[in-house]
Amino acid sequence: MSDFWRNTVTDNNDGKKLHLTWKRMKKVCFHLWRQFDDPYYAGFAAQIAYYFFMSSVPMLIVLTQVLGIFDISMDFIRYWLGQHLSRQMGSFIKTLISASSSATATNTIMIILAVWSASSLAFSLSRLTTYTLSYGRYRFNFFTERAKAVPIAMLSILTAALALIAYVYGETIAKRVFHNELAVSLIGELRTPLMGLLFFVMILANYYLLPRIRVPLRAVLPGSVVATVGILAVTWGYSEYTARAVNHNLLYGAFSSIVAMMLWFYLISWVLCIGMMFNKSWDIHMRRGRLTPAKIKEYLIRQYGDNGEEMFNKLIIGEYDMEDRSLDSIAVRFSRKFDPGYAEKREREIQALKEERRIRLRIEKEIESELENGGSDEDEASDSEREK
């Protein structure tokens, strides 16, 4: 395990929570940076960006169906895109919206397929968050995680729809509820911050619900704030950059809109990755004690109740798990059965692992014995000195 995963702090390690200072913030940021030494994160932003792009049209299809229930036009979204994104990227997304609005997606099968496609993004983020929380030692299960990602994707789409409804009809709803001009005016001014708040809630819910390990809500709060601010900053900064400094047509021609959109998704994906990793760095260097290895084990055991200890040993990768044949993956089991010579090779590896473990235990016992004997000799020497 690399040093940057070790949940230890050497300076004044008295177990007390710390207040944020510039020095500690630098420690958090450099710890965050060191996490990228782990090759698991190397291409993760590109993977999430791909899922963003793949799920964009299905998500828009479902979103238009949800907004259609409330008789909300998509014109205001087109206007917002024109105001906040570059003309090139805004035009491309408007084309997607127009295509999704005209699609016949009213049947249940189409909506289910759309949500399943959109859940690819939640599935990818689920793996990232679980890997980060478990120090890279969680044993993933494709089917379980894929099934869990579907309702999370539906929740995200519903939250986005509610945010849009609040943004468009906030004043109308306020007039019917409050019957007060001052309250209506105040709510009208707060529509944009309210939409940002709902956006933050969506990110927080994803960080909390997606990991297979259920951690306290407070443990993922810092990264949610960072991700929300980061995505807003990236969207604004990238729209300014593409509008003033870049012309993708020169390089990519007809594909320029796709490239522009993928680059935007790529930057957002990096922010989502950094937000989750920030939670770990913050917990370590601010000594919150919510994401330590011991706490992760405690959460897992509590999560599964009476079978907690058994599930922990099953879900967390141990050093000698190869010895337990019941933990073999489906690929290993089929390889044992159908790949000639693989079963014998696997058994040789298990025997070598057992021998290595036996030698290590023997060395540890010898060291303990020497320490005990050394302590006894020192006690005898000190007793003889006192007698003299």
Whole-angstrom distance, CA of residue 53 vs CA of residue 55: 6
Inside any domain, residue 294: yes
Q: In the chain, how many domains are there?
A: 2
> What are the two backbone dihedrals, phi and then psi, of residue 161, each rounded to the nearest 5 degrees?
-65, -45
Q: 44 Cβ partners below 8 Å, 6+ apart?
A: 124, 128, 269, 273
Instruction: Say whether both 39 and 185 belong to one domain.
Output: yes
The boundaries of the domain holding residue 163 are 3-298
Range of 113-117, 278-282, 322-326 with top mean pLDDT: 278-282
Asked if residues 260 and 89 have their Cβ atoms less than 8 Å apart, the reply is yes
Inside any domain, residue 350: yes
Token output for 39? 């090759």
Inside any domain, residue 222: yes
Average pLDDT, the chain: 75
Query: Is residue 220 very low, low, confident or very high in pLDDT (cuts 50, 70, 90)?
Result: very high
What's 317's DSSP letter?
Answer: P
Identify the residue whose tokens are 């965050």. Answer: 32
pLDDT at 171 over 70: no
Could you say which of 298, 316, 350 is where a domain stops?
A: 298
pLDDT at 224 over 90: yes
pLDDT, tens digit (0-9, with 9 covering 90-100), for 332-370: 888 888 888 888 988 888 888 888 888 988 898 888 888
Inside any domain, residue 303: no
| Alpha-carbon separation of residue 285 from 21, 158, 344, 368 (angstroms) | 11, 36, 47, 33
Query: Is residue 278 very low, low, confident or very high in pLDDT (cuts 50, 70, 90)?
Result: very high
Instruction: Say whether both 358 and 272 belong to one domain.
Output: no
Determine the average pLDDT of the residues in 177-204.
Answer: 76
Q: Could you tell me where the beta strands, DSSP code E, fall in 6-91? A: none
Which is nearest to 96 in space by CA: 53, 49, 60, 48? 60
pLDDT, tens digit (0-9, with 9 covering 90-100), for 18-37: 777 888 888 888 888 888 88
When mean pLDDT is compared across 9-13, 84-88, 123-127, 186-190, the lowest value belongs to 9-13
HSE on the CB side for 363, CA within 13 Å? 6
Length of the chain as a residue count: 388
Q: What is the DSSP string of 178-192?
A: H--HHHHHHHHHTHH
Range of 93-107, 138-152, 184-198, 289-303 with top mean pLDDT: 289-303
